[in-house]
Amino acid sequence: MKQLLLICGPTACHKSETALRLAERWGGEILSIDSVAVYRGMDIGSAKPDVAERRRIPHHLIDMVDPDEDFSVAAFQQAADAALQNLMQRGVQPILVGGSGLYCDAVLEDMGYALPSDKDLRSRLERAYDADPESFFRQMKEDDGPSGEKLHLNDKKRVVRAREVFLLSGKPFSSFNRAYLTAQRRDRYPAIRIGLTMPREKLYAAIDDRVDRMMAQGLLSEVKGLRDRGYDRKLPALQAIGYAQLFAYLDGEVSLDMAVDNIKRATRQFAKRQLTWFRRDERIRWFDCEHYEEAYPMIEGYVKETIFE
């Protein structure tokens, strides 16, 4: 193995299919870089690889915790390091695939720099705070006693940020010092970075089709199952796209058609944020996948040239 291979980009751009084909071509294994796929029972909404795909190629970093368990970016980094060491010792090419930009950075770059605000996590935490401020504040105090003593329950902005920092870093916000927050970022692993995308109108149409397929595959039943198992819709994990909207339907707040429309709208907005995140990295080599079968040979050729020759 010369370098890691990262396949990134917005949702619905053939990332998983590309990773499977490349892994079969060169005997690689896949590391899922997805902030929702880490949760057990959240399968359809996270587009988690199915049983057949896992039989084709081993997948790592999925189904690690239950939806009511805290899981930080730092914990994900540690799990990714363990998986990578295992693959390297066995001489297997690691293929990282996903659209969670912060998680990609956590694997490939040193976390010892100013922690960026993850807009999607922040949005999920704000909704959880709005649903139950007292429980949210109590959990924040358990994570970070000093910040809990300084902050007031009604200081939503700082309370949410303190919780966000803990979930990003695995450390209480009060433990950070200026030197840590101003440190320079450094690469942790050498990596070839590939980005997959398509024209916006085509991307949005692909997203709408994907949401329709998820509903046909049983996403609503999956959400009902989570509710039946006693998981509170206020949990940050269940603020993820697809789950939050269908919980709103199950609680009689919107119609099913409206819930599905809201999933599509939220996913399109998420795709825009994904593009914004990844576009800032000039090392990513982008491929237009509007006509995927025509694009794939170029992707494979680039991987062969940069990693295997």
pTM of the entire predicted model:
0.80
Q: Does residue 209 sit in the same domain as residue 138?
A: no
Note the pLDDT of residue 185. 62
Last residue of a domain, one of 162, 181, 200: 181
What is the mean predicted confidence (pLDDT) over 50-73?
A: 93
Query: pLDDT digit string (tens) for 158-186?
Result: 888 888 888 877 778 777 655 444 455 67
What is the pLDDT, as a whole number, of residue 184?
A: 55
- CATH, residue 39: 3.40.50.300
Give yes or no: residues 207 and 293 share one domain. Answer: yes
140: domain CATH number is 1.10.20.140
Model confidence at 113, in pLDDT bands (50, 70, 90)? Answer: very low
Q: pLDDT-derived band of residue 213, with 50, 70 and 90 as boundaries?
A: very high
pLDDT at position 16 is 96
Percent of the chain with pLDDT over 90: 68
State residue 36's pLDDT score. Answer: 95
216 and 273 in a common domain: yes
Phi then psi for 229, rounded to 5 degrees? -85, 5
Name the percent of the chain lying above pLDDT 70: 94
Q: Does 230 share its domain with 87?
A: yes
On average, the pLDDT of the chain sits at: 90
Q: How many domains are there within the chain?
A: 2
Q: Do both 160 and 175 map to the same domain? A: yes
Q: Is residue 114 part of a domain?
A: no
Mean pLDDT lowest among 73-82, 147-156, 193-202, 217-226: 147-156
Rounded mean pLDDT of 110-139? 78
Task: Please give the pLDDT value at position 169.
Answer: 74
Q: Based on the domain organization, do 105 and 203 belong to the same domain?
A: yes
Examine the domain organization and report whether 220 and 154 are in the same domain. no
Quick check: 149 pLDDT over 70? yes
Exposed/middle/buried for residue 23 (C-beta within 10 Å: 0-12, 13-18, 19+):
buried
- Paired with 195 in beta bridges are 8, 286
Q: Among the three residues 181, 201, 234, which one is the final residue of a domain in this structure?
A: 181
* Per-residue H/E/C for 235-274: CHHHHCCCHHHHHHHHCCCCCHHHHHHHHHHHHHHHHHHH
In a domain, 77, yes or no: yes
| Cβ-based neighbours of 7, under 8 Å, separated by 6 or more | 15, 18, 19, 22, 95, 96, 97, 98, 194, 196
Q: Which amino acid is at 303?
A: V
Q: Which of 153, 181, 209 is the last residue of a domain?
A: 181
pLDDT value at residue 72? 83
Tell me how far apart the alpha carbons of residues 7 and 252 are, in angstroms, rounded to a whole number: 39
Local confidence band at 19 (pLDDT 50, 70, 90 cut-offs): very high
Given this model, what pLDDT does residue 116 score? 60
b/e per residue, 49-77, with b = 16+ CB within 10 A? Answer: beeeeeeebebbbbebeebeebbbbbbbb
Whether 151 and 264 share a structural domain = no
Is 27 in the same domain as 151? Answer: no
Pick the closest to residue 11 from 189, 191, 214, 285 (CA basis).
214
The pLDDT value given to residue 309: 73
> Quick one: 172 and 233 in the same domain?
no
pLDDT value at 1 more than 90: no
Whole domain around residue 150: which residue ranges? 119-181
Across 262-270, average pLDDT: 96
- 142 and 290 in a single domain? The answer is no
Examine the pLDDT at 53 and tell me if it is beyond 80.
yes
Same structural domain, 97 and 165? no
